Chain A
Amino acid sequence: MTDQNSSLSHLDLETPEKPFLDANELVINMGPQHPATHGVLRVILRLDGEKVLGLECVIGYLHRGVEKIGEHRTYTMFNPYVDRMDYVAAVSNGLGYCETVEKLLNVEAPPRAQYVRVILTELNRIASHQLWLGTHALDIGAITPLFYTFRDREEILKIYEKYCGARLTTHAFRIGGLQYETYAGFEKDVKNFLDFFRPKIDEYEELLTTNRIWVERTKNVGNISAQDCIALGVTGPVLRASGVKWDLRKAQPYANYKSFDFDIPIGQNGDTYDRYLVRMGEMRQSVRIVQQAVNALPEGPIMAKVPKVMKPAVGEVYHSIEAPKGELGYFIVSDGSTQPYRVRVRPPSFVNLQALDVMCRGQLVADVIAVIGTLDIVLGEVDR
């Protein structure tokens, strides 16, 4: 990148100051208690009638100091905390954290553990996208898809519950591999789910993809160019819908994603409809990955040799994975003790949320709702 400022200047984030109560201007406070802000996001909207002149996000209502907590817990003890960030995709959070510490410790999880991790993480991607689809459609006014997606998400949560006892904040992985061997019938359950779920994606698409109102509500809404995405650090399906083929599973393969065959769905226009299609495509690709993984699930140990008391060598490490919402990175500094010196999380929701202003300028109030939905933010992750 050449000059930081020149790449951002065209975004024109500054607006000229106007008197507080301009007759043409209406300041509306959306949230933190609002049905469509997906938690406790507060958006201050400046409107001209229904047109959005600009907006400002106020975050921090769900701040729990996860990063600070990390400095006072051992590496193992901090593991469950990361589940509470993006609670919709807890397994992905756990995978990112475990892999980062493994990188710091220079160990690698055994193949069987890797495969199980991929299966659970991809199932989690499906679950996360299902929740996104349901709530996004609900925001746009279609109430029925929510119930369909929740019905099917339940099957994934059942698999989690059988595997590790928890449904939402699973704490499924351990540093160095897995705590639990898969239960008897795990593979069958997963295969059954895949067979059950494939036609369900078509069912969702039948309700929405060619629905005239849905298309009108999402086409050319919340457009963002690839250039803007890159300038703002936006990742995940939002970036891919703008036409950038950037998926960490392919670009910097982690776990053992390089042994699976899958495509990266991308869009062209970077509008809400493309983001919808990209996520629908990702669900199908996740099904493909899980199918391959469960067919080739190797036997063997599930835990690498990891010391009981972890004292990584002095140093720092950054590792990122492709979470359902984008690049989820962990930056951990070790001072050689049992506790990290500093844990920094790069949450995809937080970074993607910055694009909200750019995407909403000049659109209508109803589109703000659509755009918040399409960004697929989880406030637990934004505020940490």
Chain B
Amino acid sequence: MGQIIQYIQSYRHSDLTPGAAGNMFWALVYIMLVFVGLSVAVIAMNWLERKILAHMQVRLGPMRVGPHGLLQPIADAIKLLLKEDIMPAEADALIFWVAPFVVVLAAFTVFVVVPFGPTHAITDMNIGILFMLGVSSLSVLGIVMAGWASNSHYPLIGALRSSAQMVSYEVAMGLAVVSAILMTSLNADGTGTLSMIGIVQAQQAQHEWFIFKFFPLGLLAFFIFAVAMVAETNRAPFDLAEAESELTAGFHTEYSGFRWSLFFLAEYSAMIAVSSIAVTLWLGGWLRPFPNLLSNSTWDLVFSLFPGITFLFFAAICFYNAARMPKHPLFRIQTVGLAGFGAVLGLIGLILFIPAVSIRVQDIFWFAAKVAGFMYMYIWYRGTFPRYRFDQLMHMGWKVLLPMGLGVLVLTASVALLQEKLWHP
């Protein structure tokens, strides 16, 4: 017993991730935390997407289930779980059954290396970014399996589109990633890294987020990645694979109920995963904004208040809307519910003001805030853009982004070399 407690406690003052420190207990705890956090994020994202999209489109979105539709995602989840499990008679049962799991596995496994903070990651691999790109592209396999196993025309076309699209955008994506990795080798010690944590630490050491490095090269690489990641996750305007108006629902046309919800879950967690890559590579990961300009201890304190203030702000929105609720007996449950939700958020906000907590959590907060920005962009794209056609998509991937990525890579390498040889001989 004492041994176990010692094993658990041995990690307490480590400055490594649990995986890197080899502590299985804490790794398991982190895995659970990431899994739960991700599921909550997907649920929140589901609600936010419907609400934000609705407000962009002059409508209200879900309003009935819970105050302002807050319980809608939960109601949907229950509905999906209770639905009859349908498999087409002609389908290849085994592959049909396996496909959603492959997609979900690929989407969730990538989070093993995502660094939410200097030690807040399940593990730190020295090939972190490679692992992420590799595993996230495995989901193509699941999509092709789903399309093939459904034994139906529309899913097949959807799957083919999807796989072609993901494979071709990975090239441009990879080039953009390489140019960011090149930048990590400009450290004082001159060694580059593929580790996700290492990449953020390189940005910290160089006092510059890679998006601003070698302006506009970093920005261009970021732009290429930002476009490619939308295509990679099959989201609007590149959502040809699930083009509702053309292919009904693409590769998951024949899926329903729980299996369908797995695809849904995978799609959203894949969005979060690629956004995390972008945040890690270009936006300084868990680093707070303006670390150079506003760098004294007062500013550190101010920025450490941000997580608490954000939650208090959300709580204030809840209270404001609870006060605005119609004063009708039928709305009492909703009003109380919304106020209660606000109280929970406010309590979290207050807890986050405790210095011991805020110091440990603010890394995660800044990381999550940056990822949330990307999530908002995803929703914004969906509300604004029409859908690309397949050939235009390929044109964009191979003839625009790929040459651009190559050019940025070569230029980055040249500039880095020049800087090393000329300015810092």
Contact = CB atoms under 8 A, between A and B. Distances in A.
Interface string A189-226: 00000000000000000011001011011000000000
B70 interface: no
Nearest to A148: B58
Contacts of B53: 143
Interface string B239-279: 11001111010000000000000000000000000000000
A138 B246 CA distance: 11
A213 B153 CA distance: 27
A139 B245 contact: yes
Give the one of A26, A140, A214 with max B CB within 10 A: A140
B245 A36 contact: yes
A367 interface: yes
Q: How large is the interface on A (under 10, 10 to 19, 20 to 34, 35 or more residues)?
A: 20 to 34
A12 B392 CA distance: 28
Contact of B391 (A137, A214, A364): A364
A248 B58 CA distance: 37
Contacts of A26: 153
Nearest to A27: B153
A28 B391 CA distance: 20
A216 B392 contact: yes
A207 B53 CA distance: 15
Contacts of A143: 53, 57, 382-383
Given A144-B56, A144-B384, A367 B389 contact: yes
B385 interface: yes
Nearest to B161: A50
B424 interface: no
B128 interface: no
A364 B387 contact: no
Given A28-B153, A213-B388, A365-B246, A141 B58 contact: no
Interface string B59-89: 1000000000000000000000000000000
A183 interface: no
A209 to B, nearest CB: 12
Contacts of B58: 147-148, 151
Interface in A140-170: 140-144, 146-148, 151
B388 to A, nearest CB: 6
Contacts of A366: 240, 243, 246, 387, 389-390
B153 A137 contact: no
A144 to B, nearest CB: 5
Contact of A369 (B153, B246, B384): B246
Given A26-B153, A28-B153, A147-B57, A35 B244 contact: yes
A36 B388 CA distance: 16
Contacts of A369: 245-246
Contact of B57 (A28, A144, A365, A367): A144
B157 to A, nearest CB: 7
B236 interface: yes
Interface string B91-122: 00000000000000000000000000000000
Given A141-B239, A151-B58, A213 B246 contact: no
Given A36-B245, A147-B59, A141 B390 contact: no
Contact of A217 (B57, B236, B383, B387): B387
Contacts of A141: 236-237, 239, 243, 245, 385-388
B244 A142 contact: no
Interface class of chain A by DSSP: helix
Contact of A140 (B56, B157, B382, B386): B386
Contacts of A216: 388-389, 392
Interface residues of B, number: 28
A326 to B, nearest CB: 23
Contacts of A151: 58
Interface in B356-396: 382-392
A364 B245 contact: no
Give the one of B53, B59, B153 with max A CB within 10 A: B153
A35 B386 contact: no
B391 A35 contact: no
Given A34-B248, A35-B245, A213-B237, A142 B386 contact: yes
B127 to A, nearest CB: 36
Given A35-B248, A141-B236, A364-B391, A217 B153 contact: no
B154 to A, nearest CB: 8
Interface in B378-416: 382-392
Interface string A345-384: 0000000000000000000111101000000000000000
Given A34-B248, A36-B246, A366-B246, A142 B57 contact: no
Contacts of B382: 143
A35 B248 CA distance: 7
A213 B390 contact: no
Nearest to B395: A216
A40 B56 CA distance: 30
A144 B240 CA distance: 17
Contacts of B386: 137, 140-142, 208, 211, 213-214, 217
A213 B386 CA distance: 6
A372 to B, nearest CB: 10
Given A28-B153, A144-B383, A366-B240, A217 B248 contact: no
Nearest to B153: A28
Given A35-B244, A36-B245, A365-B157, A142 B385 contact: yes
B389 to A, nearest CB: 5
Give the one of B56, B386, B390 with max A CB within 10 A: B386
B245 to A, nearest CB: 4
A364 B57 contact: no
Contacts of B243: 141, 366
A148 B388 CA distance: 22
B89 to A, nearest CB: 18
Interface string B217-242: 00000000000000000001101100
A283 to B, nearest CB: 19
A137 B245 CA distance: 10
Contacts of A207: 384
A17 to B, nearest CB: 22
A3 B384 CA distance: 49
Interface string B32-67: 000000000000000000000100111100000000
A50 B248 contact: no
10 contacts: A141-B239, A141-B385, A142-B385, A144-B383, A148-B57, A217-B386, A217-B389, A365-B246, A366-B240, A369-B246
Q: Which 3 A-B pairs have the closest CB atoms?
A: A141-B387, A36-B245, A147-B57
Given A50-B390, A144-B57, 13 more contacts: A28-B154, A36-B244, A140-B386, A141-B387, A141-B388, A143-B57, A144-B383, A147-B57, A213-B386, A213-B387, A366-B243, A366-B246, A366-B389
Interface of A: 26, 28, 34-36, 50, 137-144, 146-148, 151, 207-208, 211, 213-214, 216-217, 364-367, 369
